[in-house]
Structures are given as structure tokens and as C-alpha cells.
Chain A
């Protein structure tokens, strides 16, 4: 019972730590989701931080953590709304993401890049293996 309680507290703490939203660089934060291997879904956690020049971080923190070797944004600029028109008529920029860690490459699109519930969805590959993945920022 005590062990269960301790585990519960650990889980709650682990969940609570990264929930603070941030409004800085779009990749910064803790991302949680899954990637598909065949018909199986596997958990995926990625933590990234922007140092001003590059994003660094870790995939699946813990005993089997894998350092991120590259995390880059490829941005297609948007277009503001014409003068006098509603701002929502502007064309938003598109944020493409490419993350490499442990020989695995994740390529996807950042959705809602300035909202709290931003997501990355796309495909991953390692050699001949490939599948889809999705991450949402905690």
C-alpha cells in the first residue's frame, strides 16, 4: 500500500512538473505521445529546450534516455491579413519539424504552434522501418 502510494505520488509529480505552459520557442517543452510500429503503438516522450541558437533535448528520459542529436524548424512564412481586413484572414506560417535521436528520424508538422495545446504529427523512420507518430505538448 505504501509502495503504491509512493508510486502514485511519483506519477503525479512527473505529470505536474511539465504542465506549465510556455510561450517562447515553439519546440520548447515536454512532448508526449506515441509512434506506431506495425500495429503497435509505443509511448514517446521528448523534452526540448531552446538555447537561443539550437534546440537540444532528450527522447524518452529515464534509464534508456536517448539524446536528441538534431531538432530543427523549417518555417514557411505566412502572410498577414490585408490592411483593414480581419486579422484571422491572414495566412499563418507553416512550421515543419525534424527531430533526430538514436538513429530515429521524426518529420512532422507543428499544429497550433502558439497555442497551449500544440501538437506535432508526422512520420518517423529508422532504416527501412517507418510509421506515423503524434506528440502533444504537456
Chain B
């Protein structure tokens, strides 16, 4: 057996070495043509922020141009900050810590997950603005494949809002920044992929700024006296424009066969509960 392997190594070894050298040369040649990250010309500057006739920034696709979407840009809301600086109530910090270990997120079970969680799906998010209706739809592809409505008509929050996964979102413009406040959120979802906790007392304020054609700055303020001792604000997240990124049919269903993809290293799912949460 060993002899046979030795013979094969002797026969194929030199051929393999030649193939590696050839491949390396090809790669180096490609980099020399500007195909590599380090040696090429810098990317041309992005086009300026597209605007509607009234001057307001267009946050989604530009009429007359190919449809596109925003790539995932929000990972964990405390990103870039020390966890000690996040004003968790003690129970909330413990819940956050345990969610770093038990990553059984509702989104992986097809549950609609609102606010910033809409900007974490690998398939991107599409903004559909309807100026005539004074509203915008934020559609997250993947997961439950659903949408959130942002009302832009100057309305106030209704009294006795029911609690829902997406809540009730009202937006207003502050210069070139769209400020969206969402209330009426329930506790059936995580706000981000890492399980930053919240309660139904949450008021979630988002700031969207399209600084150029390809860049959307996103920042959120979490005002939830049920979970935090005071409101706190995230650092800026950056979402990148993906031209040609169109919504597609995505079927999310229970009992999928990819738990290792959706739950990281957590390889077992406890299905002993009678009702699936």
C-alpha cells in the first residue's frame, strides 16, 4: 500500500508542482493587471446621493435605473462599544450574555424580526418609496420575507397600539436624514443577530442617511426603560448599495436541514416544547 502511494507521489508530484507554479503565475499576472486588491487603481468615486424632484434623498432604487437593494450592515447593536458602557439592567446583561452561548434566534425559526434586524439578512433589504402615498416599505428578503411600513404623512402614533413584530413606524426628515421612530413592538423577536434584549416598552429611533449613491449610514437609539437604565445610541453602521439586487421568493420553513448554518455551532435544537415558540 505504502509502495503504491509512493509510486503515485513520484508520478503525479512533479505534475502537481508545475500546476501550482502555473496557478501562482496566473494570479500574479491578474494582480498586475489591476485585478488584485493591492495593486489596482482605486475605485471611481460613487455617484452623488440621488434625489427626488423636491430635493429629498432617494433611499431606495432610482426611477429609471436598475432596481437594487442594501446589503446586510447591522450585526450587533452594541458593536464598537464596551458592553460595560451599555446601560443594561442586570437581567438584560445576563440575557445578552446567555444569548451569546444559546443562539437560538427567533429569526432562524422564520419569525418576523423588526427594526434593525431587517438590515442583517444576507440577501439584502429593499426600500420601496411611494411618495404619492407618503410612505415607504422596508422589505427584508430571507427569513420570514416580510415588510415594514414607514408612514411619512405627519401622522401621530395611535392610542392603544397593539404590539407586533414590526411595530408602528413613523418617519420625518431632518435635513438629509430620515428619522424613524417605531413603537408598539412585541417581545417575540431579537433586534439583532446577537440577541440584544428588549421589552415591549421599547421606542426604537433609527436615522438613515444616504451619503452617496452606494452608502447608507444607519444609527439607532434604543429607549427601553424595561431593559436599560437609560436610552443609548449605537455607533454608525454602513450599508452598501447592491445594484441589480432584486427581491426573490424566499420560503422560510420549520424543520430546515441547515441548523449549523443558522445557529452557528449550536448543533442541537430542543424540540421538547409542545408549542414551537
Question: A-side interface residues toward B, CB under 8 Å?
Answer: 19-26, 28, 50-52, 73, 75, 77-78, 80-81, 86-88, 90, 92-93, 95, 112-117, 136, 138
The answer to whether A26 touches B188, judged by C-beta atoms less than 8 angstroms apart, is no
Q: How close is B144's CB to chain A, nearest CB, in angstroms?
A: 15
Kindly provide the distance from the CB of B49 to the nearest chain A CB, expressed in whole angstroms.
36
Give CA–CA (A135, B87) in the complex, Å. Answer: 31
Q: What are 13 A-B interface contacts by the 8 Å CB criterion?
A: A23-B190, A23-B197, A24-B197, A28-B199, A52-B225, A77-B97, A78-B94, A78-B98, A90-B97, A90-B100, A92-B102, A114-B95, A117-B270
Q: Are B275 and A19 in contact (CB under 8 A)?
A: yes
Chain B stretch 183-212: residues in CB contact (< 8 A) with chain A: 186-190, 195, 197-201
Distance between B264 CB and nearest chain A CB, rounded to angstroms: 7
Per CB-CB distance, the 6 closest pairs between chain A and chain B, nearest first, are A116-B277, A21-B277, A117-B273, A24-B187, A22-B187, A93-B94
Query: Given contacts A75-B91, A75-B94, A87-B101, are A112 and B197 in contact (CB under 8 A)?
Result: no
8 Å CB contacts to A: which residues of B220-275?
Answer: 225-227, 264-266, 270, 272-273, 275
Contact A138 B275, CB 8 Å, known A24-B197, A24-B200, A25-B199: yes
Indicate which residue in B195, B197, B227, B266 contacts A88 across the interface (CB closer than 8 Å). Answer: B266
Whether B264 contacts A24 by the Cβ 8 Å rule is no
Given A20-B188, A23-B188, A88-B265, 8 new contacts (CB under 8 A): A20-B186, A23-B189, A24-B227, A75-B91, A77-B93, A87-B103, A113-B98, A116-B275
Interface residue B104 (Cβ < 8 Å from any Cβ of A): yes
Let me know if B11 is at the binding interface, CB within 8 A.
no
Contact A22 B102 (CB under 8 A): no
A21–B106 touching, CB < 8 Å = yes
Q: Does A114 lie within 8 Å of B275, measured CB to CB? A: no
Determine the distance from Cα of A78 to Cα of B190 in the docked complex, in whole angstroms: 21
Q: Check A50 against B226 for contact (C-beta < 8 Å).
A: yes
Distance from B247 Cβ to chain A, minimum over Cβ atoms (Å): 27
Determine the distance from Cα of A113 to Cα of B91 in the docked complex, in whole angstroms: 11
What is the bound-complex CA distance between A132 and B103, given in angstroms?
31
Chain A residues closer than 8 Å to B93, beta-carbon distance = 77
Question: In the complex, what residues of A have CB within 8 A of residue B195's CB?
Answer: 114
| Number of residue pairs A-B, CB distance < 8 angstroms | 100
Q: Is the interface of B mostly helix, strand, loop or mixed?
A: loop
How far apart sit A78 and B95, CA to CA, in the bound complex (Å)?
A: 10
| Band of interface residues on B | 35 or more
State which of A24, A92, A95, A138 has its C-beta within 8 Å of the C-beta of B198. A24
- The docked-state distance in angstroms from the alpha carbon of A48 to that of B276 is 20
Name the interface residues of B117-168: CB closer than 8 Å to any CB of A.
Answer: none
Q: Which residues of B contact A87 (CB under 8 A)?
A: 100-101, 103, 264-265
CA distance A87 to B97 in the complex (A): 10
Q: In the complex the two chains form, is B99's CB within 8 Å of A114's CB?
A: yes
Least CB distance from A9 to B in Å reads 18
Quick one: which of A78, A95, A114 has the most chain B CB within 10 A? Answer: A114
- Against A, the Cβ 8 Å flags (1 = close, 0 = not) of B75-95 are 000000000000000110111
Given contacts A52-B226, A117-B272, contact A80 B199 (CB under 8 A): no
Whether A113 pairs with B273 at a CB distance below 8 angstroms is: no
Bound: A24/B196 CA distance, A:
10
| Residues in A neighbouring B103, C-beta threshold 8 A | 87
- The distance in angstroms between the C-alpha atoms of A81 and B266, with both chains bound, is 14
| Minimum C-beta distance from B203 to chain A (A) | 13
Docked CA distance A117–B277 (Å): 8
| Residues of chain B lying within 8 A (CB to CB) of residue A114 | 95, 98-99, 102, 104, 195
Complex Cα distance, B201 from A86, in Å, reads: 33
Identify the closest chain A residue to B103 (Cβ). Answer: A87
How close is B24's CB to chain A, nearest CB, in angstroms? 30
